[in-house]
Structure 1
């Protein structure tokens, strides 16, 4: 029986279709597999997924049925990226081409596609050279992200890395320093945010993870006068990004 592709262009179903997606080099953000399935074709798909360090989730048949629109998932559903990912080196090269100090935005625990899309849009307008997200515990470049970015995804590089802390360490060796958003940090107006910089933003619920925060050079807080104690993650990213822009414009 012929396998069908889901109406959602970012989700494909069926063993042959999913296996070909991996073998063709298509970027697969997440793979859902029927828990306990030992069939040869499914095991081949799992091997291909591990080669690409794709996030694999073993789920029940009921969960797969919920995710499926074709009803012909055959025990596997893959979520693919709408856009190609860039590399961190692409971002550094973009900064070199522009003759600017690198300005990168790193996102930790960001699972809301609307926030990711809005941050990519802000990154573009603020002149950031790219956005970095981890492979795990992060939303990928879905159609929702693309729509929310209002076209910015066409122009702003996004890289997906295996280990955010390791990436930060490598960037530190290239001269970058890092500041993360934290309500207990130093007021952002009191920090020098010039030079090669990485701005680290966490999710609204969890914030920046402990290891990532420990690898930041500074923490920056946003002055708040209201009755609630946090801002939407994309709003916080915008405020801090434009403080970096303001300081760069001052020279």
Structure 2
């Protein structure tokens, strides 16, 4: 087998393993789940048998999925009563101003008794830490947030709001991202950044990062499940 194809195959097997480990032991079947922000979590929750309702402020992002949608910023969620079983924040909390993390989780506690947080936890891979630093600054250049936090940060806020931590884990990547996968991702990212008006400084910095052909794994992933007391 071609070595590049072999590496890619191993990488995509790792993608499946990571996804399986994230959702392992989390029961969503037949439960009403509020998915904050449409994405790969939406498809996975449907696959796992959840009755998914998406909260999204960009309706164009959900046009290919046949699920109910509440069009709003989650911080302005229109309901303050129990309408669901679980709220899922899958790679979305780091895009919210940290000053409002507690507010977001407080809102979640009013609409569902259980919350699931899945967040990147960058450490241990210098190449990814550099990549995350570039991404954070790119988002700051357009007034957005990309604030990665450690697992204990999310635990502290959950407890402060009134949740009991019922499970916690870190899911690790084992395989480096193949260069061709990273190149495709950076190409799509740069196209998106240009549309959003990201500073050319950070677009150029990302291109130079790619030229170094970094040996990079994706971030570790923190998974925390909280139950509101």
Identify whether the pair has TM-score above 0.5, normalized to the shorter chain. no
**Which structure shows the bigger proportion of residues in helix conformation?**
2
RCO comparison, higher one (Cα < 8 Å, 6+): 2
> Which structure is larger by alpha-carbon Rg, 1 or 2?
1
**What TM-score does the superposition give when structure 2 sets the normalisation length?**
0.27
